[in-house]
Structure 1
């Protein structure tokens, strides 16, 4: 055990502080500052700030070359009013940590505490506190940051809490685990008219009335079916709130969802074709643009095997419970350049669901998550106290051999 009861009590207090001061995507300045203030006394090899916005990365380097393991959490909260009687409930109206990102970040801070005492024997561990996960913009911004090359990983890991499965159990499998999704905003433009003479204008009323059910009819199947599709109309607007004006414009917002990125490409093509045909048949102008773009998350066999071995070593029951899930996750972008895997830790079978106004992250998962990741680290990189324990690190894997020297030299250890 690398965390004492005093450590865990301090971490829980830290998590409660984070929970009470939620910041939504792109506004995580105070949260990032708290993370840096907590990391600094632990003397990581290097701390990078301002990554892709308010992102923070702490590097713990070993004394000899080896692969770089990136472990990611999130910083952002949601624009949802919290409805809890907790002593540490949100103090900011209309915002709340109702997805557990405060807990995920605290798991990484717990891991940092352990790494400060038991650094890896070789290679590097990068703890990434990512901004703007909820909008799908954060991972892309971090990866686009030129300094990301300093921490470019050979393996990437993350976790998410999962209400609906027993507390402390885990959901894990190879292949797709989170769906691709994106928001499509469809805007029709016609011509306003006096409400007494609607025939002198061009109203989009019939167009949006036809298009909304046509879009939802694109839905098909359920995960894990490869052809799963889901179109959910989330918002619609027609004209202005006035009785004297026949409308001249309208908007439909629809969230498109599919099991894979290839399925998303096909679904987008279908949705766009419907919008164009509807606009043309009603003589309307049309604009379309995409928002909140998430790639699907896919667990690679290599990275999943390492997490499975760590779960077994910690006697944590695991299986494919509820996977793949329809919800999306910004972690999907990291698997585009290295093997990656996300594990889902049970928050309790009757625990409030993610994004519910009464949700709160279970503090019991802080120690569990940190132990799982520390076992992955020690199993692949060893530690100052001993060699690797999962039998993976004796030979450098193919995805690591080509770049080991350059990446190790990019940030040399300076721990005293």
Structure 2
């Protein structure tokens, strides 16, 4: 398939976006495409709807795993391009359609290359956005990779530039769902009830006060709900949802403990009961030294501009489950200085980025297998 063919594939994937855990049509499109490329093996239903493609060399050698993500987001598109989403309210606003197109381009290259040694596994992973896909897939792997790599497109950086750093690349995070219960009463007699309003606002304010943004340790309140839409009722329930973030797993655990203790203190003082549920949990993605060096050298050999951030990114990626178990690295691929931010309605993956990603992954295959 030509470069235009990969663009057409991306547009096809873009038209049929599916949220985490529901990547049925996406998986079918990929399976049909990949089955024509003569892999040594082609596996389905990994972690739900994931796919693994294996290419083996003529001689034994290292095993390298390259991973891309498959899921879309519950975000409507701002504009309808000629390949716009046909799934209302859902779209590829994180660029996973582009990541899949890149990996399909790698599959094409490997089908033509006939590896001299080693094994390459291309993993199309579902459910990245909710943090569940990587861990689910890992439990089904029947091999141990010597190296693993993944990329993510990054708006705000020059097109085709490579963004990399040793150590933590992307932060740890987790979602807090807090339910607070009191006792309702008539709005004319609030003293006869126990409203969670004061506690809700105190906890929300506390989350802002303890945040250390310059250190990357902070909480973001993403949802608040108090009672029902009734002027005659003093509320008896409230919900607060927040995302907690930190550059290291230990720091995230400490932040979580601090938040839980304050919730208990405020709720007790207000005579309220509460329950806490954690969701969308992502470990920090920590790049190993040798794979990080491979990324740097590969980018330099290709003549790509290389950028080394001083601090980890505050967003999270469930590829951290891989790098916590195997030597690996996640790197960024610049999506252009004027490209709209990720997770925004006006974002579109730039088609011109596809060949940059294919070439980077192929260079990393060469380095990993010592070809």
Could you say whether these structures have the same fold, taking a TM-score greater than 0.5 normalized by the shorter chain as the test?
yes
1:83 corresponds to which residue? 78
Which runs of structure 2 are paired with 1:199-218 in the superposition (5 Å)?
A: 199-218=191-210
* Offset from partner CA, 1:214-261 (integer Å, 9 cap, x none): 111111042xx4xx3111111011111112211011111111000110
User: Could you tell me whether the CA contact under 8 Å between 2:147 and 2:368 is conserved in 1?
Assistant: no
Question: TM-score, normalised to structure 2's length?
Answer: 0.98
Paired residue secondary structure (1:263)? helix
1:361 corresponds to which residue? 349
Separation in structure 1 between the aligned mates of residue 92 and residue 324 of structure 2, nearest angstrom: 28
Separation in structure 2 between the aligned mates of residue 18 and residue 127 of structure 1, nearest angstrom: 18
1:193 corresponds to which residue? 185
Separation in structure 2 between the aligned mates of residue 249 and residue 152 of structure 1, nearest angstrom: 48
Equivalent residue in structure 2 for 1:317, among 283, 305, 310: 305
1:289 corresponds to which residue? 277
Separation in structure 2 between the aligned mates of residue 236 and residue 198 of structure 1, nearest angstrom: 21
User: Could you tell me whether the CA contact under 8 Å between 2:175 and 2:280 is conserved in 1?
Assistant: yes
Separation in structure 2 between the aligned mates of residue 270 and residue 43 of structure 1, nearest angstrom: 53
1:409 corresponds to which residue? none
Matched, 1:122 2:117: yes
Separation in structure 2 between the aligned mates of residue 87 and residue 76 of structure 1, nearest angstrom: 21
2:171 corresponds to which residue? 179
Equivalent residue in structure 2 for 1:71, among 62, 66, 75: 66
Structure 2 residue runs without a partner (length 5+): none
Matched, 1:132 2:127: yes
Equivalent residue in structure 1 for 2:248, among 226, 245, 260: 260
List structure 1 runs of 4+ shifted beyond 4 angstroms. Answer: none
Provide the aligned C-alpha RMSD in A. Answer: 1.2
User: Could you tell me whether the CA contact under 8 Å between 1:120 and 1:381 is conserved in 2?
Assistant: no
Separation in structure 1 between the aligned mates of residue 81 and residue 320 of structure 2, nearest angstrom: 33
Which runs of structure 2 are paired with 1:5-404 in the superposition (5 Å)?
A: 7-145=2-140, 148-149=141-142, 151-222=143-214, 225=215, 228-321=216-309, 323-381=311-369, 388=371
Paired residue secondary structure (1:11)? helix
Deviation at 1:379, TM superposition (A): 2.6
Pairs aligned (count) = 371
Paired residue secondary structure (2:106)? helix
Paired residue secondary structure (2:319)? helix
Deviation at 1:321, TM superposition (A): 4.0
Separation in structure 2 between the aligned mates of residue 20 and residue 138 of structure 1, nearest angstrom: 22
**Does the C-alpha gap of structure 1 residues 35 and 323 become closer, same or farther in structure 2, counting only changes over 3 Å?**
farther
Separation in structure 1 between the aligned mates of residue 47 and residue 336 of structure 2, nearest angstrom: 33
Paired residue secondary structure (2:17)? coil
Paired residue secondary structure (1:235)? strand
Deviation at 1:123, TM superposition (A): 1.6
Question: TM-score, normalised to structure 1's length?
Answer: 0.87
User: Could you tell me whether the CA contact under 8 Å between 2:182 and 2:196 is conserved in 1?
Assistant: yes
Separation in structure 1 between the aligned mates of residue 79 and residue 288 of structure 2, nearest angstrom: 38
User: Could you tell me whether the CA contact under 8 Å between 1:44 and 1:59 is conserved in 2?
Assistant: yes
